[in-house]
Amino acid sequence: MSRISRVIRPAGLRTNVEVVLSSSISVPAVRMLYCVAEFELALGKMRSGFYVYPVVAIESRITQIHSINKNIPGDKSSFTLAQLTGEGWRQGLPERSFVPVIFDSLYFENCCPDEIGRDLGVSRTILSPWPADEDAERIKSVQQELMREAERVATDEAARKARKSRPA
């Protein structure tokens, strides 16, 4: 059964909606972690965070992007599959992807990072075939790399917003 996964709004007047055509879930053969680095500019100060989630499964997906040259407001619940086949919408070729299913202890639920309704920053899924008590030491280099990338992304985004807010 097809389902709408997410809405992607690239720069400009375009709306892309990702539809999952089929999916299957499997347990990873080796222990995996989903690492996320966040940087946010709030009230003139940068706030940061680094989070590690256990991967409990891998979802294999066949997806298709439907796009239209209009900026249509709303989130994934604003669209129907019937609407995406209407006039003006174009369908891309089906693509295969693999998405980690993580356990979020804050909400005590399993979820796919791209479907929990918030931007998770810069992320990476890593194999972790070592004991859990070695995680902090073993992922230190991944943490440093992701934090640098998240800071760069946040700084670029803040600069873009500043340019956009300036009068012409």
* Helix or strand run (H / E) with residue 143: helix 140-165
What pLDDT is attached to residue 117? 42
Nearest Cα to Cα of residue 92 among 132, 130, 63, 50? 63
What pLDDT is attached to residue 107? 61
What's the whole-model pTM score?
Answer: 0.74
**In sequence order, which ranges of 44-128 are alpha helices (DSSP H)?**
none
What pLDDT is attached to residue 118? 45
What pLDDT is attached to residue 47? 74
Phi, psi of 63 (to 5 degrees): -120, 165
What pLDDT is attached to residue 123? 87
Assigned token pair, 155: 């700084």
Query: pLDDT tens for residues 25-36?
Result: 999 999 999 998
122: Cα separation from own chain's centroid: 8
Q: What residue spans define the domains of the chain?
A: 3-165
Residues 77, 48 contacting (CB under 8 angstroms): no
Residues of the chain with pLDDT under 50: 116-118
What pLDDT is attached to residue 104? 74
Contacts 24+ apart (CB under 8 A), 152-159: 153/39, 153/121, 153/122, 154/39, 154/40, 154/41, 154/46, 155/39, 155/41, 157/41, 158/41
Assigned token pair, 51: 């989070």
The C-alpha R_g of the chain, in whole angstroms, comes to 18
